[in-house]
Structure 1
Amino acid sequence: MRIGGLASGMDIDSIVKKMMQAESVPLDKIKQKKQILEWQRDDYRSMNSILFNFRTNDLMNMRLTTAYRVRNVSSSDEAKVTATATAAANPSSYNISSVSKLAKSEMRKNQSSIGKLDENKSIYLQDKNNAAWHDGAINNASKTIETEGKQFDLELKNVTISSSKDERAMWNVKVNGKTYEVVTQESNLTNDNQVYIDMDGKLNFNNNIAKGSTISIEYTADARTEKVKLGENPGTWQLGQKPVNFDATNPITFKIMKNGVEDTTEKYEVDTDGKTIKNKAGTAVGTIELETGKITFNSDGLKSDSSTKYELEIEYKHKYSNFGIDTITSTGERKANFLVSGSDSLNSIISKVNNSSVGVSMFYDSFKGDVTLTRTETGVFKNDGTSVDDSTVPPPTYVSQISTSGDFMKEFLKFDNADPVLEKAQNATFTINGLETLRSSNTFTINGVSFTLKQEFTTGPAVTIGITNDSKKVYENIKGFVDKYNEMIDKIQSKLDEERYRKYQPLTDDEKEQLSDKQQEKWESLAKSGLLRRDPTLSNVLSQMRLNLYGTVNNSEISPEYNQLTKLGITTTKDWLSGGKLEINEEQLKKAIENDPESVEQLFRGEGGVIQKLSDTITNGMDTLRDKAGSANSVNDTFSIGKEINDLEKRQVSFEKKLQSLETRYWAQFTAMEQAMQKANSQSSYLAQFFGN
């Protein structure tokens, strides 16, 4: 902090500031030049963005065959056959004289009604005595693999595997979300999509499972164990599965853990009423609702505090069942297993089936109580997924495309593989262009044309499908491209024509203080104007693009009649100031598209065509602009303007240090003057006082 003028009475701060303003003029020039370069850099980058967007979007779209091969499709009888066509379809005609069979999916119905059920309520509670229900539990386990291998022990709990109750084939095993088929005999482990579960519950794969993979399993067991930590207010506890079994053969057992160690001095048990939970002294400490699996503890039970932590383990059984569905599809055999808890609703089971990968839709008719399984795919397939030719003589033996297994499917839903009630699947059989053939689906593609058979017919007029070129749409695509090209040219040319106001230089800090925000904004817009006026790089890009458009395309697939854009009716405007914008003779272009669509396409997107030439020119121009102005992620040392900016920044730093030294010298000189004047004033005062006395 400097204070001057105490002795001289002069405004030293103002004097030094004005002296420094004069000295700072060269520094302001450096800052202004740097600002202009930064604005110019940004303008170049914006032009590069315009070129990039045109090349990436508009030129790329015109490289695609879909811009020129737009097909019109007509059907003489859309009630019988419809069709659509891709760009791969050639103009042609198809004649479908008969459709003797439409493709159908196999549909299986249960043998007898399951009755009227509430689809949203527990299915067990609506049919408790059904033979489908088992006593036990549905459990889950998962493990992340630490070492690559083929055999893994997920330490399945409460599992007893015996020949009398072997449900392993109904378990669900997934590795990183992919489902594996479970086999129960090691000899049946033949491919990498299977897993063998041995009698000890260990999982054995045909291939190595990579380290870091997650294996999960949903399995059935003798019982289920759950844990809960008891706090100061134990409250309620909801068991994970329900309804809970309880009788002499299905006990509910509690284990009490005190500070992590089993406490045998106390015990909990469910009273014979199946509702009350009592402690060792016979005092009721809570209740259990068997149907809902809800446990409620009261104030007489165990409570944790700061020194004692209680945890309960409950082992119980609940009602469950299982079933499997196998299908034969166009990709081969598929299989899915489903474990059903007694608490599941019919709707939840239907949802599981319909959302599975087995390719079957399950439906329940609440009016009659019937259930159907319909394969989502039409047609008849062999086990390897190949289509069955049902036109052979004699016809092949029909193999059901859907099969079921498991107690729930047989006992509850009433499906029986031994005597299935079904509507057979069939392939579509039809005659096209005089040839009888078949397809597994009513929608199929031939030579880029997608046909949809909608109705069977063997008599009456044939259905004619006509494929023609959509000249109107092709014209609109080319016109759209021309419009985008003109839009790009307009943006670049307007920058080249922009007026340059040289007397409006970037404002210095002192000048900004003298202007309002609005005045600064107006001044800056004029200072930025015309920085790319008549820029040679951009001008060269426009000139080269005009040559691309006027040049002849030498391609053997193009008729000489249409080897230039001008021969299609696309020319530059007469206004040479517009930068080479294009205009279209609509009648001439449409005629060319009608007469020779192949030549029109090749002229644009063929080898050495207009699109390729424009793309090369724009790419070269973008590279030149990038060398000059870089990109948003470039550092200054990698492009020419950036190097100039770096040089100016070094000069600015050097000059600022020089000014700082100069200002210090000025202040030192004025301070010395002040000190001399102060000394002189003191002496004068002393002499005046001396002579006065």
Structure 2
Amino acid sequence: MSSSVSGTSSSVTRTYGLSGSGIDVDSMVEKLMTAARQPYTKMGQKQTILGWKKEAYNTLATSIDTFRNQKVFNFQMKSTLAAKSVTSSNSSVASVTATGDAVNVNHSIKVTQLASGVTQSSTAKITTGNSKSTLASQFGVSGSFGVTINGKSITVNSSQSINDLVSSINKADAGVTATYDATQDRFFLYTNATGSSAAIDFSGSSQQGLNFITNNLKLSAVSNITNAGVSSAGTVGFSDTAALAGQFSGLAGSFTLKVSVGTAVANIQVDTTKTSLNDIVTQINNIKDSSGNQAVSAGLDANGNFSIKALTSTPVSLAGSDPAAISFLQNQLKLGSVDASTPITETGVVSSETVGFNQKAMLSSTLGWPSTFTLNVSDGTTTKALTIDATSTTMESFLSQINSLTGADGKQMAVASFEHGKFTLKSYSGDKQLDLSGSDSGALSFMTNALKLVNQSGQDAQAVLDGVAITQSTNKFTVANVTYNLLGTGSSTVSIANDVDKIISSVKTFIDDYNTLLSSVNTKVSEDYDSDYQPLTDDQKKAMSDEDISAWTTKAKTGLLHNDSILKPMAESMRSAFTASVSGLTGKYTSAASIGIATGVDWTENGKLYVDEDTLRSALEEDPDVVYKIFGTTGTNTNENGIAVRLSNILKDASSKIVDQAGASTATTLTNDTTSVLGKQNKELTTNMTTLNKKLVAQENQYYSQFNAMEEALSKLSQQTSYLSSLLGNS
């Protein structure tokens, strides 16, 4: 039988038993050490109590922080304390919600168009081969080629499968999602957003890529063109509506162009990063003579030349313009003869070379398109083919040929235009759509790459709200704290009013949560501590049942936070936060009690609150913002603060003190907490226990050494006695 201290065995070589004395040395040493170990055991119990206190603190801290962050925070906001009810005369047009900051008025909304994205799907089954393992076996394509979707390049390799292609598209960040349905054998593309900026644009794709899109995936490169039309995704050549710095290389900075006709003056402020040529032209053309007629004409013609001329006998003067403005006219707009001192007459001045897009020049020179292609334009009933030779066709002629196409009914099929550096194609008839997908690959490439024609664009939501036209990219938007979720076209009247029932419900829930926290704190603070119930030692537990151990431990943990110096003041401050009036408020409602929130008559409930719904409802009917004023008002001091603001400060201060006392709740044990009060106490106990344990081991070793010495002495005595006995026996 051996004995040890804190798991450390004695280092003494034990020789007892040699004498045959029959003394139970282990039992005697154990009894001697039991008394010596009492200070060590008590230190261990103190460590256990420190851990229990930390656990109790952290449990309350979690409740405090949850109540403060999730409940008190919301009760400082008007959106919580001034809830609104919304009714709509036509719920099929829009579902509407309002925050507490919304004004109680009626709104009228008329929805003429919903926002939408773009969906493209194969027009028929797409697999032509006997296997779908690779694009080569599924479609008969070979090699690698490029496909561009919304400006993002995707490499298509014939050794990939169609599912690999789907993955590549979805990883390209092109603003679209691709899917392939094997059952339907169709390929789908969807825009991730809605609105006019959402598009499926294949411009930039190689000719082989466009062939793959149209012939293999059977997606329309350009289709479903309504009378709303589709336009170039970017500038084709020169755009007079884009910022000057982006259209004229090397142009930067700002300048003032002063244009005057007699007493009429236009001081045109030009920021080259924001101002367009069209902005300048508009301001020049707005100059009026004394009779109110246009006095100056400026702009680009179909040849791409820029001109300025007087429309009356009074010349146009540029006197007072910045040198940079004159330089812009001379060098960028190619008006070499223009200066600040020379007037411009009715003869006018014209640029010496092309400035904008020359619609009278051949497509091969303006767009660098050298080939001939066949463009098929279909309205669903009639298909017309145009053979275009880019080396002998101008933009002006190209537009004319499209606009001269007629359908089976003899009416114009399409409307083509080229303005501000963008090509636009529309269906002439509102009930028909155009499709160019029957065109050859050269035509599709010309339309998508040269003219940058967007395959399809989404549309913005369009509505008239309270008489004001609005355009939104999504069907959900917020105006004046009222959120509209558009559901269909039509008209609706929306009424905003206070939702008294919801406010009362919110107050009752808040008070219930407050009472729960206060009760938890009061329970811990009022519990009595019984020092007779200390943490059980291992030896004590061995002699007890599990049920008895649990009951004992529960009792031992009770009262550890009795009259706690953090929790008790916090509970008192919480009660005071509700009883004190909010200074600065006037009228009959200045405190919680005035709106029906007060403690009961039983003082033993320690501040439990009750809500008188009738009083609260009456107060809300007289002043819809009364709850917000009493709870959410922010002042310069505690007296001026609303109840929720006060509570937030009280709970924050208590939570901080608990962290100082017991550490953060994330520190699960005191072992890794060396900064809190309890953590430091635990560290000190650990140090003292280590020191004491060394002394106890030494003391135990000393006892064993003494008993060993006694045994050795008794053994020698026994030997001597035996020897003497043998001598006497022999005599």
TM-score range, shorter chain: 0.5 to 0.7
SS in 1 for 2:566: helix
Asked whether the 8 Å contact 1:380–1:426 carries over to 2, the reply is no
Q: Gapped runs of 5+ residues in structure 2? A: 1-12, 133-138, 203-212, 236-240, 242-415, 428-432, 635-640
Change (3 A) 1:475 1:384: farther
The answer on 1:45 being equivalent to 2:52 is no
**Structure 2 residue aligned with 1:619:** 652
Tell me, in whole angstroms, the C-alpha distance in 2 between the residues paired with 1:612 and 1:564: 14
Change (3 A) 1:515 1:602: same
| CA deviation vs aligned residue, 1:35-81 (integer Å, no higher than 9, x gap) | 22222222222222221221122112223333123221112343556
**Structure 2 residue aligned with 1:36:** 49
Tell me, in whole angstroms, the C-alpha distance in 2 between the residues paired with 1:448 and 1:397: 42
CA drift at 1:667: 1.4
Change (3 A) 1:374 1:663: farther
SS in 1 for 2:439: helix
The answer on 1:681 being equivalent to 2:718 is yes
The answer on 1:661 being equivalent to 2:698 is yes
Of residues 114, 137, 145, the one that matches 2:143 is: 137
The one-letter code of the counterpart of 1:351 is F
Of residues 598, 609, 623, the one that matches 1:582 is: 609
Tell me, in whole angstroms, the C-alpha distance in 1 between the residues paired with 2:85 and 2:601: 36
Question: What aligned pairs does 1:1-20 form with structure 2 within 5 A after superposition?
Answer: 2=14, 4-7=16-19, 8-20=21-33
The one-letter code of the counterpart of 1:4 is Y
CA drift at 1:336: 9.0
Tell me, in whole angstroms, the C-alpha distance in 1 between the residues paired with 2:722 and 2:120: 126
**Structure 2 residue aligned with 1:359:** 199
Of residues 560, 563, 570, the one that matches 1:534 is: 563
The answer on 1:93 being equivalent to 2:126 is no
Of residues 546, 550, 560, the one that matches 1:521 is: 550
| CA deviation vs aligned residue, 1:375-413 (integer Å, no higher than 9, x gap) | 99x999997999xxxxxxxxx989858999999773499
Of residues 108, 112, 118, the one that matches 2:125 is: 118
**Structure 2 residue aligned with 1:490:** 519
Asked whether the 8 Å contact 2:98–2:483 carries over to 1, the reply is yes
**Structure 2 residue aligned with 1:64:** 77
Asked whether the 8 Å contact 1:379–1:439 carries over to 2, the reply is no
Change (3 A) 1:346 1:678: closer
The answer on 1:505 being equivalent to 2:534 is yes
CA drift at 1:569: 0.7
**Structure 1 residue aligned with 2:272:** none
The answer on 1:602 being equivalent to 2:640 is no
| CA deviation vs aligned residue, 1:322-375 (integer Å, no higher than 9, x gap) | xx9xxxxxxxxx9999999xx99897774246569953599x9xxxx9979569
Change (3 A) 1:370 1:35: closer
Question: What aligned pairs does 1:246-285 form with structure 2 within 5 A after superposition?
Answer: none
Q: Among the aligned pairs, what percent are the same residue?
A: 27
Name whichever structure is richer in strand by fraction. Answer: 1
CA drift at 1:121: 5.3
Tell me, in whole angstroms, the C-alpha distance in 1 between the residues paired with 2:652 and 2:178: 61
Change (3 A) 1:345 1:518: closer
CA drift at 1:471: 1.2
CA drift at 1:82: 5.0
Change (3 A) 1:434 1:598: same
Aligned residue pair count: 482
The one-letter code of the counterpart of 1:240 is S
The answer on 1:240 being equivalent to 2:159 is yes
Q: Gapped runs of 5+ residues in structure 1? A: 126-132, 140-169, 174-178, 182-216, 225-238, 244-319, 325-333, 387-395
Tell me, in whole angstroms, the C-alpha distance in 2 between the residues paired with 1:477 and 1:529: 34
Asked whether the 8 Å contact 1:67–1:474 carries over to 2, the reply is yes
| CA deviation vs aligned residue, 1:231-264 (integer Å, no higher than 9, x gap) | xxxxxxxx71599xxxxxxxxxxxxxxxxxxxxx
CA drift at 1:538: 1.0
Asked whether the 8 Å contact 2:198–2:458 carries over to 1, the reply is no
The answer on 1:646 being equivalent to 2:675 is no
Tell me, in whole angstroms, the C-alpha distance in 2 between the residues paired with 1:370 and 1:658: 88
The one-letter code of the counterpart of 1:26 is P
SS in 1 for 2:495: strand
**Structure 1 residue aligned with 2:351:** none
Question: What aligned pairs does 1:247-646 form with structure 2 within 5 A after superposition?
Answer: 350-352=187-189, 359-360=199-200, 400=424, 410-411=439-440, 433=466, 445-451=478-484, 463-555=492-584, 558-607=585-634, 608-631=641-664, 632-633=666-667, 635-646=672-683
Change (3 A) 1:529 1:401: farther
CA drift at 1:515: 2.3
| CA deviation vs aligned residue, 1:74-98 (integer Å, no higher than 9, x gap) | 12343556533344421111245x7
Scaled by the length of structure 2, what TM-score is found?
0.55
**Structure 2 residue aligned with 1:157:** none
Tell me, in whole angstroms, the C-alpha distance in 2 between the residues paired with 1:640 and 1:522: 29
Change (3 A) 1:11 1:106: closer
Tell me, in whole angstroms, the C-alpha distance in 1 between the residues paired with 2:25 and 2:526: 50
RMSD value, Cα: 5.2
Asked whether the 8 Å contact 1:561–1:567 carries over to 2, the reply is yes
CA drift at 1:678: 0.9
Tell me, in whole angstroms, the C-alpha distance in 2 between the residues paired with 1:37 and 1:24: 20
Asked whether the 8 Å contact 1:93–1:465 carries over to 2, the reply is yes
Tell me, in whole angstroms, the C-alpha distance in 1 between the residues paired with 2:630 and 2:188: 55
Asked whether the 8 Å contact 2:119–2:191 carries over to 1, the reply is no
CA drift at 1:672: 1.3
